[in-house]
Amino acid sequence: MKITKVDLAHIAVKPEQYPKTFLPEIALAGRSNVGKSSFINKMINRKSLARTSGQPGKTQTLNFYEINEKVHFVDVPGYGFAKVAKSVRDQWGKMIEQFLTEREQLKAVVLLIDSRHKPSADDKLMYDWLIHFEMPVIIVATKCDKIAKSKWQKHVNVIKEELGKREEDELILFSSETGYGRETAWRVIQRYI
């Protein structure tokens, strides 16, 4: 995918602030530190448009990136940040739920999972919740450069089994270090937009 134009088009915390355009949207979710910002930056060929978060759970907004005037990537704040106050977590939940359940042009959710580890309880909750709302999910297993290629299939199988992956959801190994999986990820995303 050739990237010709990218803007951080909108930042929103409530529906009135969502973009008024009808571009198809792909949301990106994952626990803090999973490599979500790095994934976005790699996909759009930018070094640091999406902030890589030193502080887990810091970004509490929905960030809409407009790509090639064709699609919005919607960066959803990372989950699983125990240190954040309950009031903030509740607010987060409401904001995300509203967006994921009510946004008509949302086509699919990229759920990022660290390829090195078993999916966490939060990862499983998130996947089950997306299934409950009949949302197409693209599972991206991040940081695959950190495991030996000979072990990739084993790690993929663990993620599939632990999540109870639906047949129709793709699972893509990805590395923002090497760019592995980038073309596949774009090909799958393009199917939904």
Q: Under the rule (CB under 6 A), what is the footprint of ligand GDP?
A: 30, 32-38, 52-53, 78, 142-143, 145-146, 175-177
Q: Decide whether 105 or 145 has the Cβ nearer to ligand GDP.
A: 145
Q: Decide whether 3 or 70 has the Cβ nearer to ligand GDP.
A: 3
Q: Decide whether 170 or 176 has the Cβ nearer to ligand GDP.
A: 176
Taking the complex as a whole, how short is the minimal distance between the CB of residue 134 and ligand GDP, in angstroms? 25
> What span, in angstroms and rounded, lies between the C-alpha atoms of 170 and 173?
10
Taking the complex as a whole, how short is the minimal distance between the CB of residue 117 and ligand GDP, in angstroms? 13
CB neighbours of residue 31 within 10 Å: 20
Sign of CA dihedral 135, 170, 141, 37: negative
CA-CA distances (angstroms) from residue 6 to 38, 59, 68, 145, 186?
15, 20, 6, 27, 15
Q: Decide whether 21 or 52 has the Cβ nearer to ligand GDP.
A: 52
CB neighbours of residue 174 within 10 Å: 27
Taking the complex as a whole, how short is the minimal distance between the CB of residue 49 and ligand GDP, in angstroms? 12
